[in-house]
Structure 1
Amino acid sequence: MQRNTMVPAWAGALAGLVSGGVALGVAQLVAGVVGPTTFPVVAVGDATVDLTPAPVKDFAIRAFGENDKAVLLGGVLVVLAAVAALIGLLSRRRPAVGHLGFVLFGVIGVLAVVTRPDAGALDVVPTVVGVAAGAWALGLLLRRAQGAPHPATAPAIAAPRHAAPGGADPRVPAAAPAGAGASGVPRQDGAAEGQEGGGGPEGEAGAGVSRGGGGAVERPAVMRAGGQVPAFDRRRLLTGVAGGVVVAGAGAVLGQQLGGRRAVDAARGGVTLPRAATPARPVPAGADLRIGGLSPFVTPNKDFYRVDTALVVPQVDPADWTLRIHGMVDRPVELTFADLLKLPLTEADVTLTCVSNEVGGPYVGNARWLGARMSDVLRRAGLRADADMLLSTSADGFTCGTPVDVVMDGRDALFAVAMNGEVLPVDHGFPVRQVVPGLYGYVSATKWVVDIKVTRFDRDQAYWTPRGWSAMGPIKTQSRIDVPKQGGSLKAGPATIAGVAWAQHTGVDAVEVRVDRGQWREARLAEVPGPDTWRQWAIDWAATPGGHTIEVRATDASGRTQTEQPAPPAPDGASGWHSVTVQVA
């Protein structure tokens, strides 16, 4: 078997270190599917905690406080890295050492996993798959480092000194033509025969010629004893190392995301919602007109629009969540999730709208929310009189600025923990999000909210303001045609035109419809529980053959009718009348 004698020590250690990273990255990825507690590093850490004497645990808590577990896991990773580098170092000459080392890694990891409470057969899969990936990666990196073989310099086997009488020795090849070397190929370097490589009288370094006796006799080509020895290939090793780092990093990141989602989903499932101290009014019987194709009064959670800046949905464990309120306050406040659930909770029906919603667009939805009133929590902190902005921050770093006066004017602005009777979905801000009626989401509806700085608009800017959007975001009165759909085909005769309209915290007072720029006709309105939700509307229409354009406009409870003048969403929300064209046959 060929040995990796040409791989330097540093290269072997690097290959071992990267292979260990690949093993952990792949194990993390698989653990994200099987379960986060099956990740071998976590399992080893847990086992270490269980086996550590109480005095040592007490010392760790005193020395590191809340960071004791992070320090422990960091220590485990450092030890694993050192051992992996040692395995790579020893594997340069004996590849079997690498396989044995990873097997020992696997045995320790499997023992740590199976000794955990409620361990199952599948829990060992991340460790086994990770070990296999690491061993494979180590072999691959060492082979790449070994590179391509090259000829070795080795002692020559001397040719016979005498030719047979009367002719050439049968073991000696025929003499080469004049001007040719021992191989019979014309020489290109001008060196004399028998002097290749500095050969002496016996021609040890090349094919020689015997000059004794009756003339020159060609000797056989030199036989090399050393064969071919592999040469170290730095470039191939480093490119392989780069690939290994990418695999290790990608596996770790994806595994953490998957594992975090599983852990948060489990934590979400364990939340028990308290009863509302202030329940919402029952939804009126006539709130939903139950017309096919018309948006329902309550938008199901699975259908509720999602618009945010999070490329990866934050996975926030409610056990770790805190809300910090600071800035222009008399008494900074910090609440845990348990603290929030102990507060009197309010239930409210509120329609949310995204500022990026085009006229007639889908980024609007209505839900029943449960949460603590933002005004009650803020009063605990004691807002200063000159504060006019709440700069809220999400767990992923997004910020939005909400006017203080809107939150404190008595409307149902909530730190919401539930949506439509269930714990807040992760995609919609679990464990806590803001809900503020009457404002576009970019200035009010922070998901995964963890921090609120009480400040002023002339001192701080939120995420979207320097990007050209208005600092204030009151929702504009809007209406939308849901039935019939744009480009739809209808049969001539009785038909229904229906849709929704909204003017959050003001309320919709009237909706009018016209066909082919004819007379405006007032639609019938569905009932609503309050001014903070959208309102369904419908009107009967005697459809005649041909193409038709249908338009709609709404008037809010203050008497303002939405403008016909179209405007794009930026900088403060779209405007204009929604219209659809249909064909009637």
Structure 2
Amino acid sequence: MRERLWAAILGITAAAAVLATAELIAIFVGPQSSPLFAMGSLAIDLAPLWLKEAMIALFNTGDKVALFVMLGIALLVVAAVAGILEMKRRYAGVLVLVVVTALSIIAVTTRAEASAVWALPTLLGMGAGILVMLRGRRLLAAWIEAAGSRTEVPAASNSTTAESLSRRSFVTFAALTSAAAVVVGVGARLMNASSAAVTAARSAIRLPKPAVPAPPVPAGAELDVQGITPLITPNDEFYRIDVALQVPRIESADWELKITGLVDHPFSITYDELLALPLEEHVTTIACVSNEVGGNLIGNATWLGYPIRDLLAKAGPAADADMVLSSGPDGFTAGTPIETLTDPKRAAILAVGMNGEPMPPEHGFPARMIVPGLFGYVSATKWITTIEVTRFADAEGYWTPRGWSALGPVKTASRIDTPRASQRVGAGTVPIAGVAWAQHTGIKRVEVQIDDGEWQEATLATPISDDTWVQWSLPWTAEPGSHTARVRATDKSGKTQTKTEAPPAPDGATGWHTVSFTV
């Protein structure tokens, strides 16, 4: 039994050497060439729709952390098995390393914008892992032979016999190799993740004043109700849902957007050229299609950017083009109706600023798309580098072949922020309050039902625009006991959100948000 344990430790040590070496080499090749992140991205790409929904439902914005935990556990198991196999049959564990490396190379080299050189960190990591595996096997085999048994490694001894010397050699080798792998691997990962040059360059950016500033927030737009969602979502609280396991680090000086496809005049634009254009500022609410009824995968911010319709006008789209396929370095693509992007009444922008600062890296620096009225999976491409004018008949966005609708208009919805589910509140006048949204259509009315009673119309705050959510509140005289409140909204087109409950897939969740609480 002890022999298997030490053999498993050998396999884990070899795997640590693989990852540490790969992360170190990735500093010079590029952060995106990290095999661990590439394998994670491949897992996201290949995962069935039901599993993606379950991950987001269970872990919300922590889905990537959960994925890394599961990948880590899987890696430990495979590495331990490789070590045990190596001790049973020479080169069996090495073969496992080679197979896993081959899968990693496929994952790395099939990422967006990948090149053949991206395989180098994984290949060199495999070489280091094989060396550790072979050297460790010899040391462990010597210990087993000195102990006079191939089925059990004896307990530690302070004697200076051949057995204790061989034991010390193996333990020292495994400990020092593991420690070095942790130090090198963690250090390299931090360097790959932080990219000091990008951070410094972003900090030095001074965004120009908008040629078209956002209108002042009207009086009465934000209700004074404790527990209600802020009207403007702070950057560090804004939801993040994307397919990038590590945030792409792109220097603004290296960034370039290409407008191509079915256009008369394809062209490229740099970051400095973009900032020199007459930028517009808009307050816009955006939402993720994975948002459950009552969920928080939605936010409202002040965005600074340039109208996408003007970029497309310069390129001259073909008359039969009906879709724009936007993409970035993370492998994500979004298929957006061209009529939405060219609508002069819709503030669809290529955004460079968020709430008064350059776009945060995790939200798309240097630039991203913001399109009112469409779910993010068909419009909100982060770290955008390509806009391809095409047709829905000829191309698909990232999520469409994975079971989601090709078109993603945001549905009229509402949410109760306070009281929270299962909360205990005091008797007396209690505000029931929250937010409602119907981007680019606007909210006309919000109604609240308490304990299956009559629907009561809530008071709406003054909306910033039809492209933003609106706060609402209903004062209620609370009586002791258990109570249930539900909410529904009606948009300016006269459509009231449906009571029918439906999951997020394929085009957004439906149903009335309901909370139960105690007075």
**Which band: TM-score by shorter chain?**
0.5 to 0.7
Q: Which amino acid aligns with 1:550?
A: A
Q: Name the structure 2 match of 1:276.
A: 210
1:470-481 superposed matches below 5 A: 470-481=405-416
Change (3 A) 1:479 1:239: same
Relative to structure 1, the CA distance from residue 22 to residue 516 in structure 2 (aligned partners, 3 Å threshold; closer, same or farther) is closer
Rounded to whole Å, the distance in 1 between the matches of 2:142 and 2:428 is: 83
Q: Does 1:367 align with 2:366?
A: no
The residue identity in structure 1 corresponding to 2:459 is: R
Counterpart of 2:402 in structure 1 is: 467
Matched, 1:378 2:312: yes
Aligned to 1:405, what secondary structure does the other structure show? helix
CA contact (8 A) 1:290 1:296 kept: no
Structure 2 counterparts to residues 247-266 of structure 1, below 5 A? 250=185, 254-260=189-195, 262-266=196-200
- Change in 2 beyond 3 A, CA 1:361/1:146: closer
What residue number does 2:354 align with? 419
Aligned match for 2:458, one of 523, 528, 536? 523
Matching residue's letter, 2:382: K
How many Å separate the matches in 2 of 1:326 and 1:28? 31
Matches within 5 A, 1:118-267: 250=185, 254-260=189-195, 262-267=196-201
Q: Does 1:394 align with 2:328?
A: yes
Query: Letter of the aligned partner of 2:514 in structure 1?
Result: S
Measure, in 2, the Cα distance between the counterparts of 1:285 and 1:581.
32
Taking CA–CA contacts closer than 8 Å with sequence separation of 6 or more, which of the two structures ends up with the larger relative contact order? 2
SS of structure 2 residue aligned to 1:449: coil
Task: Check the 8 A contact 1:356/1:573 in 2, yes or no.
Answer: yes
Residues 461 and 245 from structure 1, CA distance in 2 versus in 1: closer, same or farther, beyond 3 angstroms?
farther
User: How far did 1:492 drift?
Assistant: 1.9
The answer as to 2:24 corresponding to 1:25 is yes
How do 1:57-136 and structure 2 match up within 5 A? none
Alignment gaps of 5+ in structure 1: 1-17, 33-133, 150-229
Query: Paired residue for 1:183?
Result: none
Give, in whole Å, the separation in 2 of the partners of 1:478 and 1:282. Answer: 25
Deviations 1:114-160 (A, max 9, x none): xxxxxxxxxxxxxxxxxxxx9xx99x9799789969xxxxxxxxxxx
Q: Among 267, 270, 276, which residue is 1:336 paired with?
A: 270
Aligned match of 2:390 in 455, 462, 473?
455
Q: If the length of structure 1 is used for normalisation, what is the TM-score?
A: 0.59
Structure 2 counterpart of 1:556, one-letter code = D
Higher helix share: 2
Superposed CA offset, 1:59-110 (max 9, x none): xxxxxxxxxxxxxxxxxxxxxxxxxxxxxxxxxxxxxxxxxxxxxxxxxxxx
Measured in 1, the distance between the counterparts of 2:254 and 2:362 equals 18
Pair 1:543-2:478 in alignment: yes
* Residue 441 of structure 1 pairs with residue 376 of structure 2: yes
Partner of 1:489, secondary structure, is: coil
In structure 2, what residue type is equivalent to 1:385?
Answer: A
The reply on whether 1:300 has 2:299 as its aligned counterpart is no
Match of 1:562 in 2: 497
Question: Aligned residue pairs: how many?
Answer: 379
* Alpha-carbon distance in structure 1 between the residues aligned to 2:487 and 2:265: 50
Amino acid at match of 2:238: F
Aligned counterpart, 1:579: 514
- One-letter amino acid of the structure 1 residue matched with residue 294 of structure 2: G
Deviations 1:6-52 (A, max 9, x none): xxxxxxxxxxxx99x969939969xx9xxxxxxxxxxxxxxxxxxxx
The residue type paired with residue 427 of structure 1 is E
Taking the aligned partners of 1:143 and 1:578, their CA distance within structure 2 comes to 59
CA distance in structure 2 between the aligned counterparts of 1:268 and 1:527, rounded to whole angstroms? 35
Separation in 2 of the partners of 1:383 and 1:490?
A: 57
Shift of 1:245: 11
Question: Cα distance 1:281–1:452, how it changes in 2: closer, same or farther (>3 A)?
Answer: same
Cα deviation digits, residues 277-320 of structure 1 (max 9, x gap): 11110001211002110001111111111111111111111111
Q: 1:491 to 1:143 in 2, by over 3 A?
A: closer
**1:494 — aligned with what?**
429
Q: Look up the match of 2:449.
A: 514
Q: Deviations over 1:153-188 (max 9, x none)?
A: xxxxxxxxxxxxxxxxxxxxxxxxxxxxxxxxxxxx
Moved over 3 A (4+): 21-29, 140-149, 238-253
The answer as to whether partners of 2:435 and 2:472 remain within 8 angstroms in 1 is yes
Query: Among 324, 346, 349, which residue is 2:258 paired with?
Result: 324
Distance in structure 1 (CA, Å) of the matches to 2:407 and 2:224: 36
Give TM-score scaled by structure 2 length.
0.67
Question: In the alignment, does 2:337 pair up with 1:403?
Answer: yes
Inter-partner Cα distance in structure 2 for 1:381 and 1:25:
42
State whether residues 346 and 373 of structure 1, in contact with CA within 8 Å, keep that contact through their aligned partners in structure 2. yes
| Residues 23, 185 of structure 2: 8 Å contact kept | no
Letter of the 1:549 partner, please give it: T
Q: CA deviation at 1:517?
A: 1.2
Task: Tell me which of 256, 273, 289 is aligned to 1:355.
Answer: 289
Cα distance change on mapping 1:245 and 1:398 into 2, 3 Å: farther
Give the gaps of 5 or more residues in structure 2.
Answer: 1-16, 32-127, 144-164
Distance 2:442 2:431 in 1: 24
Q: Displacement, 1:394?
A: 1.5
SS in 2 for 1:295: coil
- Aligned-pair RMSD on alpha carbons? 3.7
Which one has the largest radius of gyration? 1
Question: How far is the alpha carbon of 1:250 from its aligned partner?
Answer: 3.9
- The aligned amino acid for 2:24 is G
Q: CA deviation at 1:255?
A: 4.8
Counterpart CA distance in 2 for 1:23 and 1:382 is 44
**Contact 1:25 1:251 (8 Å CA) reproduced:** no
